Structure 1
Amino acid sequence: MLNFTVDADKCTRCGECAKDCLWGVIEMDGLPVVRPENEARCIECQHCLAVCKPGAVSVFGKDPADSLPLKGMFPDPAKMETLIMGRRSTRRYRKEGVDPVLIRHLLEVVSHAPTAVNRHPVTLTVVDDPAVMDRLRAEVTAEALRMLHGEGFPAGWERMADYVRGCEDGTDILFRNAPHLLVASAPEDSFAPMADCHIAMSYFELLANSHGLGTVWNGIARALLTGIVPQFRTRLGIPEDHLLACAMSFGRPAVKYHRTVQRPGCVIRRADF
């Protein structure tokens, strides 16, 4: 049930909610209305709640007063640009863990990341306890080394074998001694599981960096959990029908960077159609 309601005293009859409704669920009949036969077309985007300037529209029982106001709250472009260009792949971390309350807050904010058809299929599996992370690190490394010196890795995984071989002296190549790990997964039959997960993880990376945390996209961990030691994927509780799209190690950095780097940039071309 949409539970679509309009405060007639606040509504200005501007029609913005109806104009911005993607599937035409909302119509104007003096006041905005949603006819029962149109409810099934709603994709739950809540654009109607967000676009209503006086806060007259409510949907799904949401009170507009509980939403955050946007005016004057976006970061200025210069700071946003510096955040994007200044984030680094952190591979040196302090031993201390991040406050679980902060981790939970970051993940709740990241849940607002866009997904295909607004379905929000992404599951974020987080190791928020450093002690659990230490057990995971030790057991995954031990099993990977056992395989390396036993039956060996499957053909095509030679590069991964080199990474694991680098752990023989006790160096943590696999997780970079990070106190936390975040894994993004989504049902394989969802509209765009890989894209949805990567968008969510990109949002997490930038938000975490804005809070002074370090992050690193951990393709090694993803490869291990999907192709070398998949039993640990199960132990982490990642659903069997999910595509494990990406993983990220994070925590308090033990390194401080002082300036952006200077990249040649990607190929940019002006489309001429």
Structure 2
Amino acid sequence: MLNFKVDTDKCIKCGECAQDCLYGIIGMDDYPFIHEEKEEKCIGCQHCLAVCKTGALSILGKDPANSASIKGGLPAPNQMETLILSRRSIRRYKKEGVDPELIHHMLHVVDHAPTAVNQRQNRLTVIDNPESMDKLREQATAAALKVIREGNLPKGLERTADFLKGCEDGKDIIFRNAPHLLVASAPKDALAPMADCHIAMSYFELLANSHGLGTVWDGIAKAVLTMIAPELLELIGIPEDHTVVCVMAFGKPAVKYHRAVQHSDQDIHRAVI
């Protein structure tokens, strides 16, 4: 079932694959092997493939030669720190869209974000076409203004209403004129839908920023799409059995920041046991 193969010409019998297997599915004899009685416990994490120094091991039909090499490809710590420190929420965007190939490449990379027990049930739904985004913008804005004018705003959105009233002046308060939108959702019965979606969206945000794109965690858009006009979720393809966890608008920024901000350190407590 796991299509587990070992190239005996490459295997150096180090046992790293067996030691790193979470559920102890892999054993060591002369060469690594799968315990048949434990085979069904495999979660498909591919740690065994990744930890094999010589690329001797294949599982689930994956050829180690097709995996990205880690050596020399990681950012230096100071580069990673600068990326995190300089990240800004972007609320001013250029009208032009982002190359769809780049968007989908980024989403392919983000698909490697960790999920609970490697279930990978979360879903990222993207609007990669600015014209489609404009249609959603128009419908969402109309729906928001309608409930405000009629006094039917859902309970708990009183503060959001103050922002949404700005739409009456023709401003796009909901999506900030961003040409693209990303919606993270997961099945309601998923093991850890909130964590899975937030991790994936955080990965996307940092990756998008590294490509010179701007992003904003769009809580107002989430409120409109889930509490005011949920029919729009079906329009953009969110499954009925999914919970929308977070929404992010993104695109090419129309603003440039030149330095990081300065935050006072939050309380960090050293555990003493």
TM-score, normalising length: structure 1: 0.98
Equivalences for residues 146-225 of structure 1 within 5 A: 146-225=146-225
Report the Cα distance in structure 2 between the residues aligned to 1:142 and 1:259, rounded to whole angstroms.
Answer: 38
Partner of residue 113, structure 2 = 113
Please give the alpha-carbon distance, in whole angstroms, between the structure 1 residues aligned to 2:142 and 2:162.
15
Distance 1:111 1:78 in 2: 25
SS at the partner of 1:254?
Answer: coil
User: 1:38 matched to which residue of 2?
Assistant: 38
Rounded to whole Å, the distance in 1 between the matches of 2:155 and 2:68 is: 52
Cα distance in 2, alignment partners of residues 208 and 159 from structure 1: 29
Q: Which amino acid aligns with 2:94?
A: R
Residue identity in the other structure for 2:211:
H
Counterpart of 2:89 in structure 1 is 89
CA contact (8 A) 2:86 2:259 kept: yes
How many Å separate the matches in 1 of 2:185 and 2:96?
A: 27
Distance 1:70 1:156 in 2: 47
Are the counterparts in 1 of residues 15 and 28 from structure 2 also a CA contact under 8 Å?
Answer: yes
Q: CA separation in 2, counterparts of 1:144 and 1:216?
A: 20
- What residue number does 2:63 align with? 63
TM-superposed CA distance for 1:229, in Å, is 0.9
2:181 partner letter: L
Q: Percent identity?
A: 64
Shift of residue 265, structure 1, vs aligned partner: 2.6
Q: State the distance in 2 between where 1:108 and 1:19 align.
A: 29
Counterpart AA for 1:171: K
Deviations along 1:117-161, whole A, 9 cap, x unmatched?
110111000000000000100111011111111242023221121
- Map Cα deviations across residues 28-85 of structure 1 (whole Å, 9 max, x no partner): 0110000322210111100000000000000011110000111111100000000001
* SS, match of residue 238 in structure 1: coil
Secondary structure at 1:39 match in 2: helix
Deviating beyond 2 angstroms after TM superposition, the runs of 4 or more aligned structure 1 residues are: none
5+ residue gaps, structure 1:
none
Cα distance in 2 for residues equivalent to 1:234 and 1:131: 18
* Corresponding residue SS for 1:167: helix
Letter in 1 for 2:186: A
Contact 2:89 2:216 in 1 (8 A): yes
Aligned alpha-carbon RMSD (Å) = 0.8
What secondary structure sits across from 1:62 in the alignment? coil
- Which residue of structure 2 aligns with residue 233 of structure 1? 233
Deviations 1:206-255 (A, max 9, x none): 00000000000000011111111111112111111111000000000000
* Secondary structure of the corresponding residue to residue 244 of structure 1: strand
